[in-house]
Amino acid sequence: MKVMNKLKYKNKADLLFDSVNYILMFGVLIIVLYPLIYVISASFSDPYKVSSGEMWLLPKGFTLEGYKRLFNYNEIWLSYLNTIYYTVIGIAFNLAVTLPCAYSLSRKDFQGRGLIMLIIIITMFFSGGLIPSYININNLNLINTRLIIIIGGATSAYNIIVSRTFFSTTIPNELQEASKIDGCSNWKLFLKIV
């Protein structure tokens, strides 16, 4: 009985609103899922039936020929290797640059942190532009190298701001002061405690 008393009965306007919401969400679901199902079905279908328009939703003329050709194509494996390389090395490089910068900017005793944060925030809104960036990369002889992709993503103003906020809000000052009393340097505090 207690549960029944807690239930809120909906009037006609609420039911109509909920019905319209469900219909709209179902429509969005169809709009999102149909292309995905179509692509997956087309990958298992006979290419001639796909190009002639015979296939709509389910595979027609089931075949794995497309996947066989795809995995025999050597460049696909190089693409996977590049993706893994850029992801692993890029994240490691990004962390190595972002975290020390964010930690030092989160310290209240760091002189000039307000000015540096202002400069970092300005770079979020105003970039140097495409042509000056290209000239800079060309002068550094980094055109057509893997390193430029890693360096380009190494510094992110957004990541620095989020990490700085994390350091300044989650690590108590008492813990930092206690580690200083115990003889911990800033680098040791950053590496061991933070």
pLDDT tens, position by position, 110-162: 899 999 999 999 988 888 888 998 999 999 999 999 899 898 888 888 999 99
Q: Where do the domains of the chain lie?
A: 9-72, 74-193
The C-alpha atoms of residue 89 and residue 91 are separated, in whole angstroms, by 6
Task: Tell me how far the alpha carbon of residue 64 is from its chain's centroid.
Answer: 32
Q: Which residue has the higher pLDDT, 16 or 174?
A: 16
Q: What mean pLDDT is predicted for residues 171-185? A: 81
How high is the pLDDT of residue 58? 86
Q: Which residue has the higher pLDDT, 88 or 55?
A: 88
How high is the pLDDT of residue 7? 54
Category of 88 on φ-ψ map: left (φ > 0), alpha (ψ -120 to 50) or beta: alpha
Q: And the tokens for 92? A: 């490691």
The C-alpha atoms of residue 40 and residue 172 are separated, in whole angstroms, by 51
Region 74-193: CATH code: 1.10.3720.10
Q: How far is CA 24 from CA 12, 18, 28, 77, in A?
A: 18, 10, 6, 41
Least confident of 12-16, 33-37, 128-132, 181-185: 181-185
The C-alpha atoms of residue 50 and residue 70 are separated, in whole angstroms, by 17
Residue with tokens 């813990």, as numbered in its chain: 175
The C-alpha atoms of residue 151 and residue 142 are separated, in whole angstroms, by 10
Interval 31-51: pLDDT, tens: 999 999 999 999 999 888 888
